[in-house]
Amino acid sequence: MNQEADAYIFSMMKDPAMRDKGFLKLMDTYKVPVYWYIRRMVESHEDAEDILQETFINVYRFAHTFKGESRIFTWLYRIATNECTKYFRKNRNWVKRGAGISEEMAGELSGNDAENSDNILHKFQQAILLLPEKQRIVFNMRYYDELSYEDMGQILNTSVNALKTNYHYATEKIKQYLINNA
């Protein structure tokens, strides 16, 4: 979506008479990419849906604080990242559960392709789930969402160099995991 359309949506959300209509337009536009951003970081669809719901509740609640200094997707990803971080901290044992990622999830993520691709995807997802929180977030943003380091820096309030370092360590850990579990 372009910035003019985003600006229009937020002008609607700041107008009390148009707030709900603007919010629904925002959700229609960004629900799917934000869901998949969250889904790649958590183990289950249900958890991703809960985090997505909390993300959009916060968007609705705090829309008045958006000043337009960044792009809307950057602001949304920051809120989603904060909600994922809350989830990780609240569910500290999720990594242990994630280490035993289910075959059902691997099949769900792969679209039930050939057995070999399921196995590779399963191991790749396991490797990502085992990354430290910051590296997992940075890896997902860069690898799946193809965000620039500058956009990631705005979302995570982190320097570009730190993000590059986190991404490098994440890729190395994933490679090592795949080599060790081939």
Residue 106: predicted pLDDT: 43
Closest C-alpha to 163, from 139, 132, 131, 129: 139
Query: In the chain, what are the helix, strand and coil shares in percent, each to the nearest 5?
Result: 80, 0, 20
pLDDT in tens, 8-24: 887 888 888 999 999 99
Q: Is there a domain that residue 73 lies in?
A: yes
Q: Is the separation of the CB atoms in 163 and 152 below 8 Å?
A: yes
Q: Is there a domain that residue 83 lies in?
A: yes
Q: If you average pLDDT over residues 61-80, what whole number do you get?
A: 86
Q: If you average pLDDT over residues 150-166, what whole number do you get?
A: 95
pLDDT in tens, 74-123: 889 999 999 998 998 887 654 444 444 444 444 444 444 455 666 777 88
Residue 105: predicted pLDDT: 44
The structure tokens listed for 170 are 């994440």
Helix pair angle (133-143, 72-90), 10° resolution: 150
The structure tokens listed for 30 are 């960004």
Q: Is there a domain that residue 105 lies in?
A: no
Residue 170: predicted pLDDT: 96
Share the mean pLDDT of the chain. Answer: 83
Residue 101: predicted pLDDT: 42
Q: Is there a domain that residue 18 lies in?
A: yes
Alpha-carbon torsion (85, 107, 176, 174), positive or negative: negative
Q: Is 172 helix (H, G, I), strand (E, B) or coil?
A: helix
First to last CA, the chain: 41
Q: If you average pLDDT over residues 48-73, what whole number do you get?
A: 89
- Report residue 137: phi and psi, to 5°: -65, -50
Q: Is there a domain that residue 102 lies in?
A: no
Question: What is the C-alpha to C-alpha distance for residues 155 and 177, in angstroms, rounded to an integer?
Answer: 28
Residue 132: predicted pLDDT: 92
Q: Is there a domain that residue 171 lies in?
A: no
Q: Is there a domain that residue 35 lies in?
A: yes
The number of distinct structural domains making up the chain is: 1
pLDDT in tens, 26-53: 999 999 999 999 998 887 899 999 999 9
Q: Is there a domain that residue 156 lies in?
A: no
Residue 38: predicted pLDDT: 92
Residue 6: predicted pLDDT: 80
Domain that holds residue 4: 1-92
The structure tokens listed for 153 are 């820096």
Q: Is the separation of the CB atoms in 141 and 77 below 8 Å?
A: yes
Question: What is the C-alpha to C-alpha distance for residues 47 and 31, in angstroms, rounded to an integer?
Answer: 15
Residue 95: predicted pLDDT: 47
Which CATH number belongs to the domain containing residue 57 in this structure? 1.10.1740.10
Residue 92: predicted pLDDT: 66
